[in-house]
Amino acid sequence: MNDTSAPTEHTPGTADGPRYDFRAAEPKWQAAWSERACFQVADVPTSGKPKYYVLEMFPYPSGKIHMGHVRNYTLGDVVARYKRAKGFDVLHPMGWDAFGLPAENAARERGVHPAKWTYENIANMRGELKRMGLSLDWTREFATCQPEYYQHQQKLFLDFLASGLVERKESWVNWDPVDGTVLANEQVIDGKGWRSGALVEKKQLSQWFFSITKYAPELLAALDTMDRWPERVRLMQANWIGRSEGARLHFDLAAPEAGIDKVEVYTTRPDTLFGMSFMAIAPEHPLAAAVGARDEKAAAFIAECRSKGTSEAVIETGEKHGYDTGLRVKHPFIEGATFPVWIANFVLMEYGTGAIFGCPAHDQRDLDFARKYNLSVVPVVLPPDADAASFAVGKEAYVGPGVAYNSDFLNGLDVDAAKRAAIDALAAKSQGLGVVNWRLRDWGVSRQRYWGCPIPVIHCESCGVVPVPADQLPVRLPEDVTFDRPGNPLDHHPTWKHVACPSCGKAARRETDTFDTFVDSSWYFARYCCASDTTQPLARAAVDHWMPVDQYIGGIEHAILHLLYSRFFTRAMKATGHISVDEPFAGLFTQGMVNHESYRAEDGAWLYPEEIDKRPDGTAVHKVTGLPVTVGRIEAMSKSKRNTIDPGEIIQRYGADTARWFILSDNPPERDMEWTESGAAGAYRFTQRVYRLAEGVVGANGPCPSEFGTDGRALRRATHKAIAAVTDALENFSFNVAVARLYELANAIADAERAAGTAANEPNLAWARREAVEMLARLCAPMMPHVAEEIVALLYPGSLNLVADLPWPDADPALLIAETVTIAVQIMGKLRGTVSVAPDSPAATVIALAEAEANVARGLEGKRIVKRVHVPNRIVNFVIAG
């Protein structure tokens, strides 16, 4: 690992090796930071400094870090190091989202225990992260699979349960009959289980749910106050929560069916009730089940929906199927009118009440269904400018504004007024009321898995569900499990689930489901604040000090689930007295992906970047065979496309600073970026260049001289302008701009170096150069901390100061004022020349100079100046006539 051999052909350097040897420097400074505990903070600091909590989404320990991690953790580290230099106590922790399916798959496929696999991966990835030189407080590290962590999660669950924030209820789930487990929607592909390939069934199971819907109104309302979240994420969450206003009403059946005498529906269009032509109920609706019990054809139809309901073919074509039950419902307003009840595949049991009234004229789905089954289509909303006698609905439902007609007492009202009138009429008959409906559903957290946090309850035949007493926590996962057959190993375990009921002492059964791993990640951010407290989930003093997270950074893929669950969990923890804040993340930043070119051989096989040679004309050949290679699209790095770059190798070859610098320099962090070899090599050249510039200024220490020559003044101005510009860029997450300003400063130093070679008598230029190099290093420090330390150590031999402990430099305001400013001179908004004047020169002076400028004067010749616009220090514009 500690390879200090001569650089390979990829590491440019002089004949005797590169001047700056990152292979020696990076471990040295990482050790120095660690020895001085630079990045450790107390649970409750006494420094009196303001706090700043920087957090990046913690990684799943898959085995190796990828470029997405490098980008994520570099972004966070820049913020953490910058804020620390700005005088904040910075909390910047790291841990592992360690439960989950891949560990179980490894166990099934390779026979390695999930714990062993996970902890080995963690060890490897921890080493890789440490080599990146991140300013992390490693004393707070934990993995969610440790009982020391999940025991507290079990306690939180018990508290939620006691507070009515958890319930056990029946729900329809995707069931894989071969693997014997519930599948998430994302795990169902083409109606089949993603692992087994078995046709997925809909099955009703008793599951644990967190009552996130209780918080739907406030989770939605609070989005408006979260001004440091991306607009896009807030909108996605708002859509997900999905508030809609409408009416809930019931229809009486003409004749009761198996004791059911009415059906409740939800609608957003009660104004269209007079356009009803049928009722449709979901295949999972109780009334459908009742019909199915006596009608074989209905039962067959329901079964078909169950097996095909989730297949992509049905969803994509949107084809609607129905079955006429023969039942009829009475219209609430039209005396004597009844309508048929259909079972329809497009009605969702999970939304609303699982039943709708169909108004084909004003709903596209209802119209498609009505046309297919020859049901009547009666328009009841007349579009503006349409004629009541001739208006008809063809293939497109009319969903726009208009006036009610064909609608008895609603006639003449516009859509909104008709809705209100219809709801009032329903309420008067006690047949319905106005309601707010939510798309958000309660969060089912039961998983039939081994590698997850056990749900701490016991099922007793006499007592029902009994929570595990808090003093018996944690409920530990047994280690001796087998993965030799499908299903949940916890269920197969010979002894684990057999326990005495804590309440009555009789033989009882432990819950064998474990939590969805999203539970683990819904509170880890708070746990970091007090990670060493073994007695309770959260220590209020520490959590109240550090929470909320000031800056959270991660991928957009978590825009909904993880972030919404965490927001809910924080509210639930507040309700149970564990935390004081409502919102966990005050600021959110979503980074773009890291992409790379892809390559394919002639036979279509994907090739790794290291298998090909790029030629200057942009084409590529296979290194071994010499055959041409197709250079494909630039797309997200993925193992299947083989367009991945291993960060470990990049750090080995170029150093961590190079990787960090390049990943920040290319483009704005919220946008997708392309990883390129030449870009990485360019970043490496810059690390060497900065160090070389430093070597040229060693020794010019001492107090600031009072007089400088022309070159010295210019360089000092460039230095202080850079301080101001880089500070501004870092504050705004414009890291690519910060990088550009630092390149400029390096270029200015190089210019001064040349000037020093020719103008030997320039006074104190050496001091100005040393100042510039020191500032360059310190401004670079959040991005490339190791080079920065090496340079400052070079400038101040024997000093024990670490850049990591130095305050952020301030720009000297006097040096931010230019000696002269260049004013653009326009005629009619077109640039015609420039003039140089002292800053803040009076308008009359500037305008006179501008008019005298040769090219401007030519343009003004023979013209009448109508208006002279002068913007101080920027521009003069002449408006002319004739």
Partner RNA sequence: GCGGGUGUGGCGAAAUGGUAACCGCAGCAGACUCAAAAUUUGCCGAGCGCAAGCUCUUGUCGGUUCGAGUCCGACCACCCGCACCA
The residue among 53 and 346 lying less far from RNA, judged by its C-beta, is: 346
Least distance (Å) between residue 257 CB and RNA: 20
Query: Among residues 176, 666, 771, 789, which is the contact residue for RNA, using CB under 7 A?
Result: 666
Q: Answer yes or no: are the C-beta atoms of 403 and 413 closer than 8 Å.
A: yes
Least distance (Å) between residue 434 CB and RNA: 12
Touching RNA, residues 20-59 (CB under 7 A): none
Q: Answer yes or no: are the C-beta atoms of 410 and 274 closer than 8 Å.
A: yes
Strand 875-881 to 821-827 pairing: parallel
Eight-class DSSP state of 634? E
The residue among 69 and 320 lying less far from RNA, judged by its C-beta, is: 320
The number of beta carbons lying within 10 Å of the beta carbon of residue 479 is 9
Least distance (Å) between residue 542 CB and RNA: 35
Q: Answer yes or no: are the C-beta atoms of 488 and 450 closer than 8 Å.
A: yes
Closest CA to 378 of 269, 272, 270: 272
Element (DSSP H or E) covering residue 303 = helix 296-308
Stretch that binds RNA, among 108-116, 121-129, 230-238, 640-648 (CB under 7 A): 230-238
Least distance (Å) between residue 291 CB and RNA: 18
The residue among 315 and 627 lying less far from RNA, judged by its C-beta, is: 315
Least distance (Å) between residue 126 CB and RNA: 31
CA–CA dist 134, 69 (Å, integer):
12
Least distance (Å) between residue 849 CB and RNA: 14
Stretch that binds RNA, among 75-83, 160-168, 443-451, 865-873 (CB under 7 A): 865-873
Query: Among residues 6, 235, 465, 504, which is the contact residue for RNA, using CB under 7 A?
Result: 235
The residue among 356 and 445 lying less far from RNA, judged by its C-beta, is: 356
Q: Answer yes or no: are the C-beta atoms of 513 and 208 closer than 8 Å.
A: yes
Least distance (Å) between residue 273 CB and RNA: 11
Closest CA to 406 of 361, 375, 436, 358: 361
Does 682 bind RNA (CB under 7 A)? Our answer is yes
The residue among 162 and 221 lying less far from RNA, judged by its C-beta, is: 221
x/- contact string, 244-263, with RNA (CB under 7 A)?
x-x-----------------
Least distance (Å) between residue 320 CB and RNA: 5
Stretch that binds RNA, among 118-126, 389-397, 621-629, 740-748 (CB under 7 A): 740-748
Touching RNA, residues 177-206 (CB under 7 A): none
CA–CA dist 384, 407 (Å, integer):
17
Touching RNA, residues 279-298 (CB under 7 A): 282
Stretch that binds RNA, among 10-18, 153-161, 209-217, 707-715 (CB under 7 A): 10-18
Report residue 176 as tokens: 């894989």
N-terminal to C-terminal alpha carbon distance within the chain: 77
The residue among 465 and 828 lying less far from RNA, judged by its C-beta, is: 828
x/- contact string, 821-850, with RNA (CB under 7 A)?
-x-x-x-xxxxxxx----------------
The residue among 14 and 46 lying less far from RNA, judged by its C-beta, is: 14
Query: Among residues 198, 199, 575, 740, which is the contact residue for RNA, using CB under 7 A?
Result: 740
Does 679 bind RNA (CB under 7 A)? Our answer is yes
Does 879 bind RNA (CB under 7 A)? Our answer is yes
What is the Cα Rg of the chain in Å? 35
Query: Among residues 266, 301, 524, 654, which is the contact residue for RNA, using CB under 7 A?
Result: 266
- Cβ-based burial of 530 (10 A; exposed 0-12, middle 13-18, buried ≥19): buried
Token pair 């929607």 in the structure block, residue: 185
Element (DSSP H or E) covering residue 121 = helix 114-131
CA–CA dist 281, 357 (Å, integer):
9
**At CA 773, angle to CA 769 and CA 779, rounded to 5?**
140
The number of beta carbons lying within 10 Å of the beta carbon of residue 343 is 25
Does 470 bind RNA (CB under 7 A)? Our answer is no
Does 391 bind RNA (CB under 7 A)? Our answer is no
Q: How many residues bind RNA (CB under 7 A)?
A: 88
Token pair 């020794």 in the structure block, residue: 699
Closest CA to 450 of 474, 418, 483, 424: 483
**H helical segments located in 594-666:** 647-654, 656-665
The residue among 538 and 746 lying less far from RNA, judged by its C-beta, is: 746
Least distance (Å) between residue 180 CB and RNA: 26
Residues 6+ apart with CB under 8 A from 844: none
Touching RNA, residues 544-583 (CB under 7 A): 556, 559-560
Stretch that binds RNA, among 65-73, 196-204, 227-235, 408-416 (CB under 7 A): 227-235
The residue among 244 and 638 lying less far from RNA, judged by its C-beta, is: 244
Least distance (Å) between residue 540 CB and RNA: 36
Touching RNA, residues 400-459 (CB under 7 A): 437, 439
Q: Is 524 left (phi over 0), alpha (psi -120 to 50) or beta?
A: alpha
The residue among 508 and 673 lying less far from RNA, judged by its C-beta, is: 673
Does 223 bind RNA (CB under 7 A)? Our answer is no
Closest CA to 553 of 53, 49, 17: 53
Token pair 């009555």 in the structure block, residue: 504
Stretch that binds RNA, among 45-53, 170-178, 688-696, 793-801 (CB under 7 A): 688-696
Q: Virtual CA dihedral for 139, 145, 147, 152, nearest 10 degrees? A: 80
Element (DSSP H or E) covering residue 305 = helix 296-308
Does 14 bind RNA (CB under 7 A)? Our answer is yes
The number of beta carbons lying within 10 Å of the beta carbon of residue 779 is 26
Helix axes 647-654, 114-131, angle to 10 degrees: 30
SS3 state at 611: helix
Stretch that binds RNA, among 77-85, 442-450, 682-690, 702-710 (CB under 7 A): 682-690
Least distance (Å) between residue 149 CB and RNA: 29
DSSP string, 752-781: HHHHHHH-TT-TTHHHHHHHHHHHHHHHHT
Touching RNA, residues 307-366 (CB under 7 A): 314-315, 318-320, 345-354, 356, 363, 365
Q: Is 334 left (phi over 0), alpha (psi -120 to 50) or beta?
A: beta
Least distance (Å) between residue 440 CB and RNA: 9
The residue among 304 and 533 lying less far from RNA, judged by its C-beta, is: 304
Closest CA to 730 of 18, 63, 82, 73: 82
Touching RNA, residues 742-781 (CB under 7 A): 743-744, 747, 750, 754
Touching RNA, residues 689-718 (CB under 7 A): 689, 692
Touching RNA, residues 87-146 (CB under 7 A): none
Closest CA to 274 of 351, 370, 376, 369: 376
Residues 6+ apart with CB under 8 A from 866: 879, 880, 881
The residue among 78 and 559 lying less far from RNA, judged by its C-beta, is: 559
Does 869 bind RNA (CB under 7 A)? Our answer is yes
Report residue 490 as tokens: 């916890």
Least distance (Å) between residue 28 CB and RNA: 23
x/- contact string, 582-621, with RNA (CB under 7 A)?
----------------------------------x-----
Strand 551-555 to 51-56 pairing: parallel
The residue among 300 and 869 lying less far from RNA, judged by its C-beta, is: 869
